[in-house]
Amino acid sequence: MSNSEATTSSPVARLEIDGKVYELPIRRGTEGERAIDISQLRALTGCITLDDGYANTGSCQSAITFIDGEKGILRYRGIPIEELAEHSTFVECAYLIIYGNLPTQRQLSRFSELLSDHQMVHEDMKYHFEGFPATAHPMAILSSMINASSCFYPGLMAGGYNPERFEIQAARLISQVRTIAAFSYRKSRGLPIIYPKRAYKYTQNFLHMMFSMPNEDYPLDPEVVRALDLVLLLHADHEQNCSTATVRTVASSRANLFASAAAGVCALWGPLHGGANQAVIEMLQAIHDEGDDGTKFIEAAKSKKRRLMGFGHRVYKNYDPRARIIKKACDDLLAKLNTTDPLLDIAKRLEEAAIHDDYFIERKLYPNVDFYSGIIMRAVGIPLEMFTVIFAIGRMPGWIANYKEIMENSESRIYRPRQLYIGQTLRHYVPVEERG
């Protein structure tokens, strides 16, 4: 295939199959990225493309998040993650991601009001929590309860997508995912449910619902609140990752927002995706308990017996910018809380060993967001089984923005990939008594 841009204003790629040449348009994104448009490929050639894991496949055009994995760049709606991490909040970023621009003071106040107005889950939802065993993983409860929420808002998609109704649904989902998450934790510990307080901001309220007691409010330390808010902000969107692609797939069938987000939670749960933050801490704890300084584990990872969780990324072939921010935030928080964490020391030793080791250098494996996020969450007091839930709360604005993008694109089609069939060719049914 050759790329010819010199002679025409619309560049094309030429593809030769069986001696016949086909021209495929090349589309260019606003950051100069190029994509060969194969939307007519099968109609023209009879062929499909095969791309296991979609590593080379652009499934959509999106205006939400830009990543340059080679340079380690991440921007929400054009704004660098470093600037947002320093100056913004999770709620402001949620608005930015969903609606495309930083909110004015008025827009931000309205958005915050909406979050407060819709923070209570329907009282009858409490009975659903009763049905889960105490051993249930909070991610299972979260996805079930997000889906169950849609039962309390019938007619979610009646009359199709409606931007005004969507604004309320989006606020309801962002606000209630936090309430559901905290309730599921309380349930798992056999603790009484604590309701959100209108006076508290988003992250304060989450900590309040997690840790207050009926007769004693949890003391909110601004450093702790800020650290957790930063974790949420850094997870708020990340273009077409496994869970977001799942949300888009479900949304493409015109399923409602809650059903689509519940599917996103399920996709996020796995240890290769959002579940990695829990897996990292389990790995660090095991290294600590075995008295290994990390050397044995690195060797096991190189020989594929173990996987260095929190390392590597499909898109980043450089340091994940979120990991850089979180690593510094870990150091800052532990210093402010005047505490230490032996797992942070192990993590740093592992990183130091890995980034100087040919195995990791050749494969461009660097720490990703999950490598250090667990350390912050431990310092904040979040229990291990809730780590991936925190990721889900953080990622909700991204899922919602991607859902909105699908719904507002009049040309969006149902996601329906093809396959290359490699099974049995035609054969005929044999009655059971003749099968031998």
Rule CB under 6 A: which residues touch ligand CMC? 53, 238, 241, 272-274, 276, 301, 307-314, 363, 365, 368-370
Chain-centroid distance of CA 15 in Å reads 35
Return the number of the residue (149 or 373) whose C-beta is nearest ligand CMC.
373
- Beta-carbon neighbour count of residue 418 at 10 Å? 9
- The position carrying tokens 């240890």 is 271
CA 385 – CA 374 distance, rounded (Å): 11
Instruction: Name the residue nearer to ligand CMC (CB basis): 224 or 309.
Output: 309
Residue 258: C-alpha distances to residues 45, 177, 206, 329, 369 (Å): 39, 10, 20, 32, 26
**Residue at token pair 């990324």:** 313
- Min dist CB 368 to ligand CMC, Å, is 4
Looking at the Cβ atoms of 182 and 287, the one nearer to ligand CMC is: 287
Q: What type of residue is 89?
A: T
User: Least distance (Å) from ligand CMC to the CB of residue 218?
Assistant: 29
| Amino acid type, 102 | L
Tokens 């905290």 sit on residue: 182
Two tokens, residue 121: 């889950």
Rounded CA-CA distance 289/227 in Å is 27
HSE (side-chain half, CA atoms, 13 Å) at 27? 10
**In the bound complex, what is the minimum distance in angstroms from residue 387's beta carbon to ligand CMC?**
12
Could you tell me if 354 and 319 are in contact, meaning their C-beta atoms sit under 8 angstroms apart? no
With a CB cutoff of 8 Å and minimum separation 6, the contacts of 312 are 363, 365, 366, 368
CB–CB of 271/309 below 8 Å? yes
Q: Residue 13 or 267: which CB sits closer to ligand CMC?
A: 267
H or E element in which residue 20 lies: strand 20-28
Judged by CB, which is closer to ligand CMC: 172, or 348? Answer: 348
Q: Is 117 a catalytic residue?
A: no
Minimum separation from the CB atom of position 277 to ligand CMC (A): 8
Q: Is 418 helix (H, G, I), strand (E, B) or coil?
A: coil
CB of 68 to ligand CMC, least distance (A): 16
Minimal distance, residue 119 CB to ligand CMC, in Å:
27
Which ranges of 151-308 would DSSP assign to H, the alpha helix?
A: 163-188, 202-211, 222-234, 242-252, 257-269, 276-289, 295-302
- Number of H helices and number of E strands within the chain? 18, 7
Q: Give phi and psi for 64, each to the nearest 5.
A: -90, -60
What is the identity of the amino acid at 69? Answer: G
Least distance CB 330 / ligand CMC (angstroms):
17
What span, in angstroms and rounded, lies between the C-alpha atoms of 301 and 281?
A: 16
Give the residues across from 65 on adjacent strands. Answer: 76
Q: Which of 290, 337, 321 is nearest to 73 (CA)?
A: 321
Nearest to ligand CMC by Cβ — which residue? 312
Q: Which is nearer to ligand CMC, 27 or 273 (CB)?
A: 273
Residue 315 C-beta: closest distance to ligand CMC, Å: 8
Residue closer to ligand CMC by CB (options 257, 309) is 309
User: Would residue 313 show up in a list of annotated catalytic residues for this protein?
Assistant: yes
Our CB check for ligand CMC shows the closer of 245 and 250 to be: 245
- Which of these is catalytic: 118, 128, 313, 320? 313
> Of 229, 320, 341, 370, which residue is the catalytic one?
370
Active site residues: 313, 370
